Structure 1
Amino acid sequence: MALTFQSFKTTLANAVAAAQGACPTLLDLGVGTPGRAMLEGVSGVGLWFQFIALQILSRTRLATSIGADADSFVADFGLSREPGTAATGVVRFTSFTPDNQSATVAVGTPVKTASNIIYDVVEDSTNSAWSAVDSAYVRPAGVASITLPVKCETTGTAGNVAAGAICLLGSAISGIDTVTNDAALTNGSAGETDAALRTRFVSYINSRSKATLSAIENAITEVSADLIYQVIENVDTSGAFLPGNVVAFIDDGSGDVSDAIINQVYAAIDDVRPAAVSIQVVRPKIVRPPVTMTVSINSTGDLPTIQATISTNIATYLNSLTIGESASYSRLIQIAYAASTAVTNVSGVTLAGGTIDLPATSGTAYRAGVVTFG
């Protein structure tokens, strides 16, 4: 219901009209008269009561609550605001003399940018370099580099960096000489906004006590609102028909979500699944399509800066694609032109070596790869 508010002037005018209407003789309510002063005082109190009523109404409905008031409202229903997420991605560890010795990279090993933004190596037991015996990643002798998942120590967008920004080892590693991120990291986010919390609250309430697909999807978002997922019923992870099975493909935008997140999502889904229904929580098949293009600019632009912007924006686009969504070839051209008004021409564009969209495939996620400029 829409609320009608009155200004002090309108409130006073109504008070004057009411007083005069209740009196059989003409009242002197001019400015400075005792009667006018009393009505102004009463009108001021009325305006204060109106403000108090507005404050009460704004706090008793989630649609009008903000900040701590929105938090306390949803807390009564067992829901809490999602905190910000730390940026994650993959980093390549390289040796200049790989034949001389192997190298072991422990979980928690720090790497950082020149501005001292620190990232730690996280566990991914499906990574080809992972050694269950050593509980660490191993670069075998003869292999020049290994690519490992990392997570920023700082929550929020501060960890979103361009390709090549992570360039320093936080501590010396025998058998490792350099480190770099071939693709930009783009999935760090600030805490959940009031608007996002209101939207999630509706899904949360609607999925209570229901073993439905929306209940499973809501369970995933309760782990983190920034997770990207695809839930498919009655198939196994290969897509083969399997009645009563639910597969949840999970990613955080990096293409290498940690074991910890996978386990959290499994536990959350297990709480809402019906009896006799099996669940599988797995990473999607990650495809990192290489992108090439030639960009021409006019005299007002700086080519290296524009190329870096294009590379980061392409990474942001690919990392934001949902699982099972196609990757658009023409979007790459659009991103290049939108990077700067100094861009005059974009040519020789290829996506995974071709000039067509990459198809939508269930369980497959396209993520940022290497962008090469001609």
Structure 2
Amino acid sequence: MAITFQSFKTTLGNMVAAAQGACPSLLDLNVGSPGRAMLEAVAGLALWFQFIALQILSRTRLATSIGTDVDSFVQDFGLTRLAGTAATGTVTFTSFTPASQSATIAVGSTVKTASNLIYDVVEDSTNPAWSAADGAYIRPAGTASITVPVQCESAGSAGNVAAGAICLLGTAIAGIDTVTNTAALTNGSDGETDAALRTRFVAYINSRSKATIGAIENAVADVSADLAYQVVENVDTSGAFLPGNVVVYVDDGSGDVSDATINAVYVAVDAVRPAAVSIMVVRPHVVRPAVAMTVSVDATGDLAAVQGTISTNIVTYLNGLAIGAAASYSRLIQIAYAASTSVTNVTGVTLAGGVVDLPATIGTAYRAGTVDFG
């Protein structure tokens, strides 16, 4: 039922009319009179009571709650707001004299940007440079560079940086002279917003006591709102028919999701799967298509700055694609022209060496590769 709130003027007018109507003689309710002062005081209290009622109503419905009231509402149902996620990606460590010695890069070694954003080296058992025996990454003598995964120490979108921004060693490493990130880091995110939490709450409630695809997808989303995922039934990871099996492909936008995230998703999905159904949580097949184009700008444009913007936006587009989604060739042209009003022409555009879209393929995630401007 809708509630109509009244202004101070309307409330006071109604009170004056009610008082005069209940009195057989004329009341002195002019401005400054004792009677008027009493009615104005009561009208002020009425406005206060209206405000309290409005606050109560807004806090008793999720749709109108904000901030901590959203948290307290969903917590009654066992749901909590997702915290922000730290940006992850890869950096390349290089030695100027690789033949003279090898290098050991321990987990926890730090690198940073010029603005002092710090990133830690994290473990990835699938990385070719990882040594289980040493518990570290090894650059063998004779190999100039190795690429390893890192994670920002600070959660949030502040950890998203352009290619080349990570350029300083925070930890001295014997046999390593320089470090850089060849691709932008784009998957860091701030904490879940009120709107996103409201949307997830609906999916959460609708998936309770069910073992549907929606329930599995909601379990993945509960691990982190920023995960890209694809759920496929009755096949194995090779695509071969396997009745009763569910494959969950998971990525965080970097194309190199951590073991910890894979394990967390497995635990979450295992909690909602039906009996006699097997599950497999794996990384997608990552394809990093090369992008090439030639960009021309007019006299008002800074070509290097425009190319930097285009490169960053292409990286953001590719890293944001869903697992199993196609990569659009024409979107690259759109991104180039949208980068600046000074762009006059975009030619020689290729995506993975071709001029067509890359097809949607189950279990495949297109992520940012090289962007070459000729």
TM-score, L = length of structure 1: 0.96
Distance 2:3 2:357 in 1: 51
Kindly state the Cα deviation for residue 266 of structure 1 after the two structures are TM-superposed: 0.7
Match in the other structure for 1:269: 269
| Deviation for aligned residue 1:340 | 1.4
Query: 1:64-83 to 2 correspondence within 5 Å?
Result: 64-83=64-83
Q: How many angstroms does 1:24 deviate by? A: 4.0
Please state how far the C-alpha of 1:134 moved relative to its aligned partner. Answer: 2.0
SS in 2 for 1:57: helix
2:13 aligned residue: 13
Aligned to 1:32: 32
Shift of 1:273: 1.1
User: 2:340 matched to which residue of 1?
Assistant: 340
1:59 and 2:36 are equivalent in the alignment = no
- Equivalent position of 2:167 in the other structure: 167
Task: Give the letter for the 2:263 counterpart.
Answer: N
Report the CA distance between 1:256 and its aligned residue.
Answer: 0.6
Partner deviation per Cα, 1:332-365 (whole Å, 9 max, x = no partner) = 1111111112212111111111111111111111
State the percentage of identical aligned residues: 79
The offset of 1:25, in angstroms, is 4.2
2:329 maps to which residue?
329
User: Cα RMSD (Å) of the superposition?
Assistant: 1.5
Change (3 A) 1:3 1:333: farther
Query: In the alignment, is residue 41 of structure 1 matched against residue 14 of structure 2?
Result: no
Structure 1 letter corresponding to 2:364 = T
Q: Which residue of 1 aligns with 2:206?
A: 206
Q: Deviations over 1:120-160 (max 9, x none)?
A: 11111122222222222222333332221110011111111
Paired residue for 2:315? 315
Deviation at 1:181, TM superposition (A): 1.0
Partner of 2:120: 120
SS in 2 for 1:221: helix
Residue type of the alignment partner of 1:197: L
Cα distance, 1:2 vs structure 2: 3.9
The code of the aligned residue for 2:216 comes to: I
- After TM superposition, give the deviation of residue 26 of structure 1 in Å: 4.1
Q: Which runs of 5+ in 1 are unaligned?
A: none
Residue 33 of structure 1 aligns to which amino acid in structure 2?
S
Q: Which moved more, 1:271-280 or 1:102-111?
A: 102-111
Residues 151-185 of structure 1 show CA distances to partners (whole Å, capped at 9, x for unaligned) of 00111111111011111222222332222111111
Q: Distance in 1 between matches of 2:30 and 2:116?
A: 70
Amino acid at match of 1:121: V
Q: Which residue of 2 aligns with 1:288?
A: 288
Distance 2:241 2:159 in 1: 40
The SS at the match of 2:191 is coil
Q: Report the Cα offset of residue 89 of structure 1.
A: 0.8
Q: Tell me how far apart the structure 1 counterparts of residues 146 and 361 of structure 2 sit (CA, whole Å).
A: 27
Q: Map residues 341-356 of structure 1 onto 2, 5 A cutoff.
A: 341-356=341-356
Instruction: Give the number of aligned pairs.
Output: 374
Query: 2-side partners of 1:48 and 1:233: how far apart?
Result: 57
Q: Are 2:140 and 1:140 equivalent residues in the alignment?
A: yes
Q: Which amino acid is the alignment partner of residue 309 of structure 2?
A: T
SS in 2 for 1:355: coil
Taking the aligned partners of 1:17 and 1:99, their CA distance within structure 2 comes to: 97
TM-score of the aligned structures, taking structure 2 as reference length = 0.96
Map 1:123-272 → 2, pairs under 5 A: 123-272=123-272
Greater shift in the superposed pair: 179-188 or 26-35: 26-35
Matched position secondary structure for 2:271: helix
Name the SS of the counterpart of 1:272 in structure 2.
coil
Query: Which secondary structure does the structure 2 equivalent of 1:119 belong to?
Result: strand
Give a deviation string over 1:45-91, Cα, whole Å, max 9, x none.
11110001111111111111111111111111111111111101111
- CA deviations 1:298-334 (Å, max 9, x no partner) are 2222222221111111111111110001111111111
The more displaced of 34-43 and 179-188 is 34-43
Aligned residue number for residue 88 of structure 1 = 88
